[in-house]
Amino acid sequence: MPTPHIEAKKEDIAKIVLMPGDPLRAKMIADSYLENYRLVNTVRNILAYTGFYKGKEITIFASGMGIPSIGIYSYELFQFYGVEEIIRIGTCGANRQDVKLLDVILAESASSLSTFAKLFDGTEENTIPSSIELNQKIEQAAKDNHITLKKGMILTSDVFDPYVEDINQYFANYPKEWNTLASEMEAFGLFYMAKKFNKKASCLLTVVDSPYDKKEISSEERQNSLNEMIIIALDSILK
């Protein structure tokens, strides 16, 4: 049952999806962590792989960048492929001084000024929560792996904030009461689609840039932190 953006048959997609932004990261996760996996989507080079993690079937499906992209893929996966759970894994920038480089963040909600939800069906909400049930499993997986999570609200932006010339003006555009931990570009769209279809979604992020800390992080440090995030997400599906 192909869609305009997914060529897989319905049976090729697992009920649980792990969703990185980068198609090559999807390939890396499949190569590194899955058994008996197969490539199930190549349309627009948005790669997807279905296989088994410790005996549990899972699909690793790239989302691309931004709310419109993840909105398309999560809509089609929830609506046409019977997917029940999607966990986004990605990178983010710190919005507060107490959020440090390489911290791993669990998004309890995502706030955005995007018009995506309003244009889609008139929804006026600009803060949407993630799944409490998925979050509890993720927290347990983090605890089992002795990995500390920072938990709270995140900001889903339409711009890549490191390119913003005046970061103080960037933050001033948003309501002060949001007090978000970090900025990224997709979670609000995913949480909106999950709520629309009565499905479950969550989001894990690794902090890779900060306006408060300009120190360089090595490629090895960055990859180790990303691996921690990936392991938490994968182990959570076993709970």
Asked whether 58 and 12 are in contact (CB, 8 A), the reply is no
Nearest to 225 by CA among 161, 149, 160, 152: 149
CA dist 214 and 11 (Å) reads: 46
CA dist 195 and 190 (Å) reads: 9
DSSP helix/strand/coil, 146 = coil
Phi then psi dihedrals of residue 17, to 5 deg: -125, 135
Residue 117, Cβ neighbours under 10 Å: how many?
Answer: 23
CA dist 70 and 190 (Å) reads: 6
Residue 10, Cβ neighbours under 10 Å: how many?
Answer: 12
Residue 143, Cβ neighbours under 10 Å: how many?
Answer: 12
CA dist 153 and 188 (Å) reads: 11
> Looking at the annotation, which residues are catalytic?
209
Token pair belonging to 47: 């790669």
Q: Which residues of 156-173 are buried (b: 16+ CB within 10 A; e: fewer)?
A: bbeeebeebeeeeebbee
